[in-house]
Amino acid sequence: MGPGTGERLLRRLRGILFLAAVAVAWPLVAGWDAAVPLAVASPMVAVGSLVAAPAARWTIAIGLGILVWALWRRRAFCRHVCPVGVLQGACRGRWNHRRGAVARAALKWPIGSWIFLLTLGGALVGYPLFLWLDPLALFGAALNAWRGPVTLCAFVAGIALPAVLLLEMFEPRLWCMRFCPLGAMQDWAFSLARRIGWPFAARAAGRPGPAAIAKDGVGRRTFIGVGIGAAWGAVARASHADARGAIRPPGSVDEDRFTGLCIRCGNCIRACPPQILRQDTLQHGWAGLLAPVASFDSGYCREDCHRCTEVCPSGAIERLGLPEKRRVVMGIARIDESTCLLATGGECTACITQCPYEALAVAESPDGFSSRPRLSLDKCTGCGACEAACPVRPVRAIRVFAPDGGEQGRLQEAV
Ligand code: SF4
Ligand code: SF4
């Protein structure tokens, strides 16, 4: 007997939602980038970012609304909306229909639940530890990764989704049941709602859902997981001095929270018109791996642009209007007078003419016989226009460093 009309309609709806998710994550129209990125639909991203960076953002309402729906219809989000879930449905059990010993053992361990609880605990102290493992973040990161040149970073960012799908081919539903932190979060929230007697959850308890649901409940594990997560998050924040020196997109939260809040979705990198954002390697410490950093080799942060501040789903970059963004300090320029062409008797004024904030001017050297560029620190935003314009090679005579300076900044200051 074929599927009924209701089931056929649901299948069509799933297909439409999946295509919409792909269109948002990977717009086919050149130059169009969705201002509301896909990961805002994730309840885990909404709760994690709301707890860790409680600034008012209307996009959080989308994830919270979906969470309420998940309480009413258990795991309905997983079955009908999550694009990873839809892809998994297409791959499910293609190569294997019997569980192996490893899968049977893994089913006993609620890994996703621990990931979620640790993340929630970390969020309480401003550092949601594993927000980047959210499936919508993995989906967006995978699509974004293959849009540019294939680098090691792109490969690392893009490999997680294929790995989840491969797992689904061998071990059906193992990811959803035991590894996915977003699925575990829905189960946890459902369990909590039932415990406090929320009427939706009480009614939904009678409906079919994943077998493992709400078994663990909200109890000792929650307190242990959240407690360890909070301690871990606090240590992570305190120890991220090694990430100093990275120039983050304008509007980014402080560095000690940024690497926890950024879910590595790549939306800001994709949205940047002059393409000055790229994924960080281990250059600024392991915590910053794949997070966005700015470099000014061939472009600068344009004074007429605030795109990256509009597309961050996690609050790692705060939403800024253009006038506010123009006042944000991304970094500080520093001049090396020993290599600057103007300061060494040449005729170059490239940095002075390119600075959109008029932070550079020609000044007389102390001897009165030569000139040099003078920087007004109160006007410099670290946009990088000067560095991009400087013709000196291989190391430019004017460079931008992170506001905290980092090791390189301190060295440069001493020149
Ligand atoms: S504001 Fe600057 S860093 Fe952000 S997208 Fe625009 S040019 Fe790129
Ligand atoms: S900072 Fe960029 S990569 Fe990180 S979550 Fe925001 S948009 Fe995504």
Q: Output the residue whose Cα is nearest ligand 2's atom 5.
A: 262
Ligand at shortest distance from the CA of 280 = 2
Q: How many contiguous H segments (helices) and E segments (strands) does the chain have?
A: 19, 6
CA distance 314 to 3: 39
CA of 331 from ligand 1 middle (Å) equals: 13
pLDDT tens string 266-312: 889 988 999 999 998 888 888 888 999 999 998 999 999 999 999 99
Output the CA 53–ligand 1 centroid distance in Å. 21
Share of residues in the chain with pLDDT > 90 (%): 47
Contacts of residue 164, defined as CB under 8 A and 6 or more positions apart, other chains included, come to: 84, 88, 135, 138, 175
* Residue, of 60 and 24, whose pLDDT is higher: 60
Atom of ligand 1 nearest to the CA of 249: 3
User: Residue 372: which of 349, 406, 354 has the closest Cα?
Assistant: 349
Tell me what pLDDT residue 307 has.
92
Grade residue 106 by pLDDT with cuts at 50, 70 and 90: low
CA of 393 to the centre of ligand 2 (A): 32
**Does 374 have pLDDT greater than 80?**
yes
The answer on pLDDT for 37 being more than 50 is: yes
Give the ligand at the shortest distance from the Cα of 247.
Answer: 1
Decide if pLDDT at 407 tops 50.
no
Q: Best of 306, 318, 327 to mutate for ligand 1, by most ligand atoms within 8 A of CB?
A: 306
Q: What is the pLDDT of residue 22?
A: 79
Which of 147, 254, 268, 280 should be mutated for ligand 2, with most atoms under 8 A from CB?
268
At 277, give phi and psi (nearest 5°). Answer: -95, 140
Domain ranges of the chain: 9-240, 331-415
Average pLDDT over residues 381-410: 84
Q: Say what percent of the chain tops pLDDT 70.
A: 85
CA of 289 to the centre of ligand 1 (A): 20
**Nearest CA, atom 7, ligand 1:** 301
What residue type is assigned to position 271 of the chain? A
Which amino acid is located at 224 in the chain? I
**Mutation to probe ligand 1, out of 252, 268, 270, 272 (largest number of atoms < 8 A from CB):** 272
Per-residue confidence (pLDDT) for residue 218, from 0 to 100: 64
Please give the pLDDT value at position 336.
95
The pLDDT score that the predictor gives to residue 350 is 96
From the CA of 267, the nearest ligand is: 2
Residue with token string 């946890």: 188
Q: Which ligand has its closest atom nearest to the C-alpha of 49?
A: 2
pLDDT of amino acid 81: 85
- Rounded to two decimals, what is the model's pTM? 0.86
Distances (CA, A) of 187 to 70, 97, 107, 128: 9, 25, 15, 19
Residue 169 CB burial class (10 angstroms; 0-12, 13-18, ≥19): middle
The domain 331-415 is classified under which CATH number: 3.30.70.2340, 3.40.50.2000, 3.90.380.10, 3.30.70.20? 3.30.70.20
- The whole-angstrom separation of Cα 234 and Cα 238 is 6
Please say whether the beta carbons of 57 and 64 come within 8 A: no
CA separation for the pair 42, 65 (Å, rounded):
10
Residue 365 contacts residue 343 (beta carbons within 8 Å):
yes
What residues flank ligand 1, with Cβ below 6 Å?
249-250, 271-274, 276-277, 294, 301-302, 305-308
Residue 414, both tokens: 């001493």
Ligand with smallest separation from the Cα of 40: 2
State the closest ligand 2 atom to the C-alpha of 269, by its place in the atom list counted from 1. Answer: 2
**Smallest CA separation from ligand 2 atom 6, residue:** 312
Distance 64 CA to ligand 2 centre (A): 19
Which pLDDT score, from 0 to 100, does residue 213 have?
A: 43
Biggest CA-to-CA distance, the chain = 94
pLDDT band at 410; cut points 50, 70, 90: very low
What does the block give as tokens for 191? 């369990």
pLDDT tens readout for residues 202-256: 566 555 444 444 454 567 889 999 999 999 999 999 887 555 689 999 999 988 8
Minimum-distance ligand 2 atom for the alpha carbon of 315: 6
For residue 414, pLDDT over 50 is answered with no
Tell me: pLDDT of 155 over 60: yes
> Which of 146 and 386 is assigned the larger pLDDT?
386
C-beta separation of 136 from 38 below 8 A? yes
Q: What is the reported pLDDT for 415? A: 33
- Distance, in Å, from the CA atom of 134 to the CA atom of 143, rounded to the nearest integer, reads 15
- Which whole number is the average pLDDT over 182-206? 78
How far is 333 from 381, CA to CA, in rounded Å?
Answer: 8
